[in-house]
Amino acid sequence: MMLSIPDEVEHSLPTLKPGIVLVVGNPEQRSGLRPFSIRSLLESDTLLVGVNGLDGDTTYLASDLTIDAPVTQLDVRRILAIAQTIQDESRARSHQTRRRMTALHALALRAGNPAEGPERIEALLADGCAVFNASAAGLWLVDSARSTLKYATSWGLIDQPRSPESLSPEQIIDETVRRDLHAVELCIVGPDSGIRNGLESATWRWVPIVGEDLLIGYISLAFRSPEVADVDPLSLDAFASVIDIAVESSLVRSLARESELLFRKLVDSSPKALLLVDQDGVIAQASRAATVISGRAPTELSRGTVSDLLVDPEAIPWSEWRSLAPGETLPAEYVWLVRPDGSRRLVQLSVRGVERVIPESPTGSMQAALHLAMEDITDSSRRILELELMHDLTRMVSERHPLEDVYELVSSRLYEFHNYRLVTIGALNHELTEIHAYRNYLTERTIPLAFDVRVGLCGQAIREDRSILAENVSDWDAYMEIDSDVRSEAIALIRRNGRPVGLIDIQSDSTQQLGPQDLKLIESIATHIGFLMERLNVSDRLAHLARTDGLTGVGNRRALLKKLESMIEAGREHEFAILFIELDRFKGVNDRLGHLFGDEVLKQVSGRIKNALRQDALIARYGGDEIAAVIPGLNRAEALLVAERIRSAITGRSFNYQDQSATLTVSIGVAMYPDHGRTTDDILGAADRAMYAAKHMGRNTVYIAHI
């Protein structure tokens, strides 16, 4: 095909891709035509032949082959043979390039899964040498300051120079490399590496490693001859990419290891107990503080789970914990941790979602994990609970709560919050011979309702009038076994007015040996209960005095009114009788024998009336020499009989005091509820009027009110 020059040549040659091109003369220098390059339009395996001697043109010297005109059959055969040879060499080179790229693709897959350290990269360099038929390879990396090219690793180099003629790193660095690093005096850091046998005069190819438009380093390849070193740039660039992947993966893994080592250092130096666990609770790492709080060795912790540490594994909301993203937290949990010896500690357990490197992962892959912080709050929580208990006890004492409420509060708090195995509050009987249990809490056991003070540690505490702490009950002969799991016992006495009236008894198993702090706690509680008893006793005495006549010891006017109000309110259809009793001519006795004698007479009269009535009757001094009696459940006839019995008890006997003596009579008025009144005032008025009627009838008589 004949082509005009230059437009048809420029447009047609790249499309035709001819195997042989004959150029007549030197068209690139013809006057009137713009300059262009024929070779730049052709494939590398196209034979370019210049023909000399036609039309007087000058010879095209840029051709691969020059022949003289006229062109003979022998010239054609020679041209065809040369073209065939070029085509064969091109196909071989193309096949070799494809083979290299396939091998480099396999290396790239392996480079993305690096194992430990530079040894893996050295293996990749060895595989690269096999691909390119190189004899040695080295990896050189640029430092962060970009002033130093540091030796990283190699294959085929020796660590020490074999002879004075061996090449040093400075000698094998190509000038091109120095120019690429923009350093006039490049600092080379690495082993003073020599080259293996026969490589002192090797041909070196330096392949730059570029990542994200930044020079990372170089691969140096040593070839035994320049011909072998003639490797296509595309394959070398692909190999550089493989090594770049391996270097980056190795760096990521190295950073992950450094981060993990730093985490381990921080964890071990932390005063808190820290655990790194997977989402199934398997412990991966534990701080030194975690071994202390758990009572387990590091190897024992690393073989277990968080659930192994807890008294109640169900206390952990694992489903919520597993949903935590890195950095997320949840409110702390308060759980009991159990040690191998059975002892327990209350811990505050905080959780945070994190990520960790998967163990033995060749790629340094990450997985979701949990970071747990455990803080032992046993002692601080105990102090808070004790303060709360003391506060509640103080309030109950000041408000004079019933003793039963106090016993319930104390025994339940000690059992539930302090994990004692047995808690008993006992009271002594009046004879000081038995201890009766008011409240008790016991794990899977029952206890007697009463103890003889002659047996057991409780009995010993009563007999010796002191507190007892038995840290090991097997050392105490007086110990009375109720529960075979009990290992220690503490007893504190409850005192009222200095006298033992009860006790607090706590017992515990091997998980929580009792000590001085436990004894101190129950002694403080016993003191508060004693205060409450004394306060209640004083209150009772004051209440009694408020309802009692100070002279006679019977009820007073206030007690009478309260009694009548309560009886009327409680049973409006139930009968009761009220008697008004007044001494006849008592003023004359007072004037003649004196007020002391008169006071003694009132005391004796009150006693005789009390002896004449049932236990459920109320006797009260209504005022002066008037005494009232309220008797439930009587009808009229019965009320008159009781009144007559009282009159006879007073009238038939004299009253004696010191050397003086006198006889007296009484007038008694009787009123019935509800016949004579349905209110307090009405019934009192009826009895008073009946009493005065008896006086008007001549005294020393009984009179019942009229309806």
- Over the stretch 43-83, which tens digit does the pLDDT of each residue have? 666 767 776 665 555 555 556 666 666 766 666 666 666 66
pLDDT in tens, 455-470: 888 889 988 999 999 9
Pairing verdict, β 47-52 and 65-68? parallel
Return the sign of the alpha-carbon dihedral for residues 13, 16, 20, 21. Answer: negative
Is pLDDT larger for residue 430 or for residue 700?
Answer: 700
Tokens (6 digits) for 66: 């020059």
- Give yes or no for a contact between 647 and 700, defined as CB atoms under 8 angstroms apart: yes
Mean pLDDT of the chain: 76
> Regarding predicted confidence, which is higher, 386 or 659?
659
Residues in the chain: 707
Cis peptide before 208 (omega within 30 of 0): no
Q: Is 177 left (phi over 0), alpha (psi -120 to 50) or beta?
A: alpha
Q: What is the pLDDT of residue 339?
A: 85
pTM: 0.44
Query: pLDDT over 90 for what percent of the chain?
Result: 12
Structure-model confidence comparison of residues 602 and 13, the more confident one: 602
User: 3-class secondary structure for 23-72?
Assistant: EECCHHHCCCCCCCCCHHHCCCCCEEEEEECCCCCCCCCCCCEEEECCCC
- 33 vs 98, higher pLDDT: 98
Least confident of 261-270, 290-299, 392-401: 261-270
pLDDT at 635 over 80: yes
Determine contact, residues 561/680, Cβ cutoff 8 Å: yes
Inter-axis angle of helices 117-132 and 73-111, nearest 10: 170
- Which of 411, 398, 415 lies closest to 526, judged by CA? 411
If one compares 121 and 145, the residue with the highest pLDDT of the two is 121
Sign of the torsion formed by the C-alpha atoms of 356, 359, 365 and 368: negative
For 299, half-sphere exposure in the C-beta direction (CA atoms, 13 angstrom radius) is 0
Return the top range by mean pLDDT from 55-69, 475-489, 682-696. 682-696
> Would you call 2 helix, strand, or coil by DSSP?
coil
Please indicate whether residue 338 or residue 668 has the higher confidence score (pLDDT): 668
Find the mean pLDDT for residues 290-312. 86
- Any idea which of 12-21, 30-39, 178-187 has the lowest mean pLDDT? 178-187
Q: Do β-strands 47-52 and 20-24 pair in parallel, antiparallel, or remain unpaired?
A: parallel
The top-scoring range by mean pLDDT among 287-301, 347-361, 446-460 is: 287-301
Q: What is the pLDDT of residue 12?
A: 57
Residue-wise pLDDT for 505-518, tens only, equals 988 887 778 888 88
CA distance 322 to 368: 9
Predicted confidence at residue 189, as pLDDT, reads 36
Q: Write b or e for each residue in 512-548: b if 16 or more Cβ atoms lie within 10 A of its Cβ, otherwise e.
A: bebeeebbebbbebbbbbbbbbeebeeeeeeeeeebb
> What is the per-residue pLDDT for 624?
86
Q: For residue 2, give Cα distances in angstroms to 12, 24, 49, 70.
A: 11, 11, 15, 17
Separation between Cα atoms, residue 222 and residue 549, nearest integer Å: 125
Per mean pLDDT, which range of 30-34, 590-594, 641-645 is the poorest?
Answer: 30-34
Q: In the predicted model, is pLDDT for residue 672 greater than 90?
A: yes
Q: Find, among 447, 403, 424, 420, the residue nearest to 505 by Cα.
A: 424
**Whole-number percent of the chain with pLDDT over 70:** 68
Contact 703, 647 (CB under 8 A): no
> What pLDDT was estimated at residue 444?
47
Contact between 336 and 310 under an 8 Å Cβ cutoff? The reply is: yes
Residue for token pair 């494939």? 43
Q: What is the pLDDT of residue 689?
A: 93
Sequence-ordered list of residues with C-beta below 8 angstroms from that of 694, at least 6 positions apart, any chain: 667, 668, 669, 701, 702, 703
Question: Do 344 and 512 form a contact (C-beta atoms < 8 A)?
Answer: yes
Task: Determine which of 195-209, 262-276, 656-670 has the lowest per-residue pLDDT on average.
Answer: 195-209
**Highest mean pLDDT: which of 49-53, 111-115, 490-494?**
490-494
Mean predicted confidence (pLDDT) in 239-248: 81
